């Protein structure tokens, strides 16, 4: 029987309603699960979260909430086999690609569980030290941060149904803020199953964690003044969210992660045959193929010295030709499918558009699929395009194809490479591969202004570096401009979005009493 994905609001699983959406296996087209349309009881569910959920969470200390995160981590570990089965069926991912999502979620959750435990029994966080406001030093000012009075609404993208939930929910719950999650419907099954497992375990108080699986209609209408909203998705949808009355009139704090034309730069010193050159090729291929290129941090623009253009093209194409694509149930397949035929069509259209100004270096559309019907499966083999003179490129700096697609671009010199990276108009990440550490240090500062993360790889760290596209909880995730202007994670900085900063002006003795039940907010 097909699985119906119930909503969970007001501490209860909601009744099944008329089916509005069908989730399918993106390889076989088989029906997997169903969701309803617009959720019933949204306003009541949101109110329940703000009252019951927030009150119960904020009655606990930071240490107690951190302990709950650790218990959630144990639940996820106990059910991980089921999660891999769901990811394979609903996202069409190989086990290795499913791990990026599932194990990444567990790692991030456990990170915040351990980091939050350091706050112990504190119920308030001190931001900085007290500052005197009077000559006699008796009247002082102390900044504190306290949890927001509302809830946190998360509207997530389809590519990370597991990590997308917990990278947001972990710092929110640690902060004492109840969570309502709206996963992308097409891959909502894994998110809903994780929520169901946590609910069944009875770890969180009622109202602390809610989920809406079907339509997003009415979600923003139910937001109030002290709520916060975090969105991951397209720039077009982000623009609609920013214009919504809840954001404009109620000043709902909003975090946006949108489109990102991430780049990777091969240094001028990294000639063919050098370790830095080899690391670059390996990373480019990995970023093009991991999760079938469906990562917001994937390399879309590969910037290389013009004199190395042909060598990079040849080396990358040779590696891409070895990537087997098709049904992830087949042990010979290294890359599975996109999440849906709709996404398949979007990627095909994007490739055609980019091919209007770039030449095809490796055309994945000519590749034979393994155990997959090309008329049904949402499989797209990796495609590399190229423009030897990047100054002649236009669309490639403006249009992101969200799949296993990247464009090779030749640059003249180091300043030209930096300028081309900035033409992305704001990105989540850029990476640089070189053995010239002095130049790398200068480039890092030059690139930081338009990138949320600058990933620098020298041969020395070739084996230990975490990867261009991997989001680590200790580093911030987000980017300026086109990337949405948001910021998540970054260690304990991630708690900032879920707190309000206030200045407490009082006697030194009063502030000493406050400090006795507080901890310092450390980064």
- Three-state SS sequence of 93-118: CCHHHHHHHHHHHHHHHHHHHHHHHC
Helices 62-78 & 188-201 angle (0-180, nearest 10): 120
pTM: predicted TM-score of the whole model, two decimal places: 0.95
Residues 168 and 43 placed together within one structural domain of the fold = yes
Cβ-based neighbours of 512, under 8 Å, separated by 6 or more = none
Partners of residue 264 on adjacent β-strands: 302, 431
Per-residue exposure over 261-292, b if at least 16 CB sit within 10 Å of its own CB, e if not: bbbbbbbbebeeebebbbbbbebbbbbbbbbb
Quick check: is 479 in a domain? no
User: Do residues 191 and 183 lie in contact, with contact meaning Cβ atoms separated by under 8 Å?
Assistant: yes
Quick check: is 392 in a domain? yes
Residues 235 and 249 placed together within one structural domain of the fold = yes
Q: How many CA atoms lie within 13 A of 256 on its CB side?
A: 24
- Chain segment 71-102, per-residue pLDDT in tens: 999 999 999 999 999 999 999 999 999 999 99
- What is the residue-averaged pLDDT of the chain? 96
Outline where DSSP puts E strands in 149-191: 152-155, 179-182
Residues 397 and 331 placed together within one structural domain of the fold = yes
Full DSSP string of 212-259: --S--TTTGGG--TT-EEEEES-HHHHHHHHTSHHHHTT--EEEEE--
Q: In the annotation, is 257 catalytic?
A: yes
Q: Sign (positive/negative) of CA torsion 493, 495, 499, 505?
A: negative
Strand, helix or coil for residue 196: helix
Give the chain's radius of gyration (CA, Å).
Answer: 24
Q: In the annotation, is 445 catalytic?
A: no
User: Do residues 508 and 137 lie in contact, with contact meaning Cβ atoms separated by under 8 Å?
Assistant: yes
Quick check: is 40 in a domain? yes
Comparing CA positions, the residue from 230, 253, 132, 239 lying closest to residue 181 is 230
Instruction: Please state, as a whole number, how many other Cβ atoms lie within 10 Å of the Cβ of residue 47.
Output: 17
Q: What is the pLDDT of residue 190?
A: 98
Residues 9 and 145 placed together within one structural domain of the fold = yes
Quick check: is 389 in a domain? yes
Region 462-478 average pLDDT: 96
Q: What is the pLDDT of residue 259?
A: 87
Quick check: is 207 in a domain? yes
Which residue out of 167, 213, 257, 268 is catalytically annotated? 257
Q: Is the predicted pLDDT of residue 314 greater than 80, yes or no? A: yes
Quick check: is 429 in a domain? yes
Number of folded domains in the chain? 2
Which residue out of 167, 213, 287, 296 is catalytically annotated? 296
Quick check: is 480 in a domain? no
Cβ-based neighbours of 108, under 8 Å, separated by 6 or more = 163, 166, 167, 170, 473, 489
Q: What is the pLDDT of residue 523?
A: 76
Residues 457 and 497 placed together within one structural domain of the fold = no
**What are the two backbone dihedrals, phi and then psi, of residue 281, each rounded to the nearest 5 degrees?**
-60, -45
DSSP H or E stretch at residue 71: helix 62-78
CATH of the domain at 430: 3.40.309.10
Full DSSP string of 444-470: HHHHHTTEEEEEEE-GGGTTT---SSP
Q: What is the pLDDT of residue 1?
A: 43
Strand, helix or coil for residue 267: coil
DSSP H or E stretch at residue 194: helix 188-201
Strand, helix or coil for residue 67: helix
DSSP 20: E
Per-residue tokens: 501:
């900063």
333: alpha, beta or left? (left if phi > 0; alpha if psi -120 to 50) = beta
Estimate the share of the chain in helix, then strand, then coil, as percent rounded to the nearest 5.
Answer: 40, 20, 35
Alpha carbon distance 29, 380 (integer Å): 15
Q: Pick the last residue of a domain from 452, 473, 494.
A: 473
Alpha carbon distance 246, 248 (integer Å): 6
Domain range for 444: 263-473
DSSP H or E stretch at residue 433: strand 427-433
Alpha carbon distance 490, 329 (integer Å): 36
Q: How many CA atoms lie within 13 A of 246 on its CB side?
A: 17
Region 258-267 average pLDDT: 96
Quick check: is 220 in a domain? yes
CATH of the domain at 75: 3.40.605.10
Q: What is the pLDDT of residue 366?
A: 84
DSSP H or E stretch at residue 385: strand 383-387
Residues 59 and 157 placed together within one structural domain of the fold = yes
Q: What is the pLDDT of residue 347?
A: 97
Q: What is the pLDDT of residue 365?
A: 84
Region 213-241 average pLDDT: 93
Region 419-441 average pLDDT: 97
Comparing CA positions, the residue from 323, 318, 254, 316 lying closest to residue 282 is 316
Residues 392 and 420 placed together within one structural domain of the fold = yes
Residues 276 and 156 placed together within one structural domain of the fold = no
Q: What is the pLDDT of residue 522?
A: 81
Residues 232 and 87 placed together within one structural domain of the fold = yes
Comparing CA positions, the residue from 513, 422, 520, 376 lying closest to residue 27 is 376
- Chain segment 273-287, per-residue pLDDT in tens: 999 999 999 999 999
Region 24-34 average pLDDT: 96
Residues 170 and 236 placed together within one structural domain of the fold = yes
Q: How many CA atoms lie within 13 A of 286 on its CB side?
A: 15
Residues 244 and 231 placed together within one structural domain of the fold = yes
Residues 198 and 271 placed together within one structural domain of the fold = no
Q: What is the pLDDT of residue 2?
A: 67
């Amino acid at each position: 029987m097909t699985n119906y994905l119930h909503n969970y609001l007001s501490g209860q699983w909601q009744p099944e309603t008329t089916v509005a959406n069908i989730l399918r296996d993106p390889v076989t087209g088989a029906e997997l699960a169903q969701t309803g349309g617009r959720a019933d009881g949204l306003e009541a569910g949101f109110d329940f979260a703000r009252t019951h959920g927030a009150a119960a969470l904020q009655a606990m200390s930071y240490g107690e909430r951190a302990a709950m995160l650790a218990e959630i981590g144990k639940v996820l570990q106990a059910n991980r086999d089921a999660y891999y089965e769901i990811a394979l069926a609903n996202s069409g991912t190989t086990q290795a690609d499913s791990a990026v999502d599932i194990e990444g979620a567990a790692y991030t959750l456990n990170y915040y569980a351990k980091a939050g435990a350091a706050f112990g029994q504190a119920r308030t966080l001190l931001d900085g030290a007290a500052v005197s406001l009077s000559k006699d030093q008796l009247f002082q000012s102390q900044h504190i941060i306290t949890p927001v009075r509302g809830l946190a609404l998360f509207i997530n993208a389809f590519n990370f149904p597991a990590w997308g939930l917990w990278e947001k929910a972990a710092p929110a719950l640690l902060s004492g803020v109840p969570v309502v999650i709206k996963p992308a419907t097409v891959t909502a099954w894994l998110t809903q199953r994780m929520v169901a497992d946590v609910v069944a375990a009875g770890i969180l108080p009622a109202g602390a964690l809610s989920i809406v699986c079907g339509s997003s209609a009415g979600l923003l209408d139910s937001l109030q003044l002290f709520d916060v909203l975090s969105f991951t998705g397209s720039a077009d949808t982000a623009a609609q969210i920013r214009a919504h009355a809840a954001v404009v009139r109620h000043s709902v704090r909003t975090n946006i992660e949108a489109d990102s034309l991430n780049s990777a730069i091969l240094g001028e010193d990294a000639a063919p045959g050098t370790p830095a050159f080899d690391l670059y090729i390996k990373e480019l291929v990995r970023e093009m193929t991991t999760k079938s290129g469906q990562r917001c941090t994937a390399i879309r623009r590969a910037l290389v010295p013009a004199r190395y253009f042909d060598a990079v093209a040849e080396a990358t194409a040779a590696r891409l030709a070895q990537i087997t694509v098709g049904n992830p149930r087949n042990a010979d397949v290294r890359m599975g499918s996109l999440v849906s035929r709709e996404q398949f069509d979007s990627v095909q259209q994007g490739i055609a558009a980019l091919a209007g100004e770039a030449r095809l270096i490796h055309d994945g559309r000519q590749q034979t699929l393994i155990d997959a019907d090309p008329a049904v499966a949402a499989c797209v083999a990796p495609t590399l395009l190229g423009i030897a003179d990047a100054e002649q490129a236009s669309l490639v700096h403006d249009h992101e194809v969200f799949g296993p697609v990247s464009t090779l671009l030749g640059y003249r010199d180091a300043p030209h490479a930096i300028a081309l990276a900035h033409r992305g108009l704001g990105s989540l990440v850029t990476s640089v591969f070189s053995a010239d550490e002095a130049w790398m240090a200068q480039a890092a500062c030059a690139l930081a202004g338009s990138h949320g993360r600058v990933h620098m790889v020298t041969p020395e760290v070739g084996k230990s570096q975490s990867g261009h596209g991997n989001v680590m909880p200790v580093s911030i995730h987000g980017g300026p401009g086109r990337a949405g202007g948001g910021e998540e994670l970054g260690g304990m900085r991630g708690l900032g979005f879920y707190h309000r900063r206030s200045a407490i002006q009082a006697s030194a003795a009063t502030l000493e009493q406050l400090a006795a039940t507080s901890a310092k907010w450390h980064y």
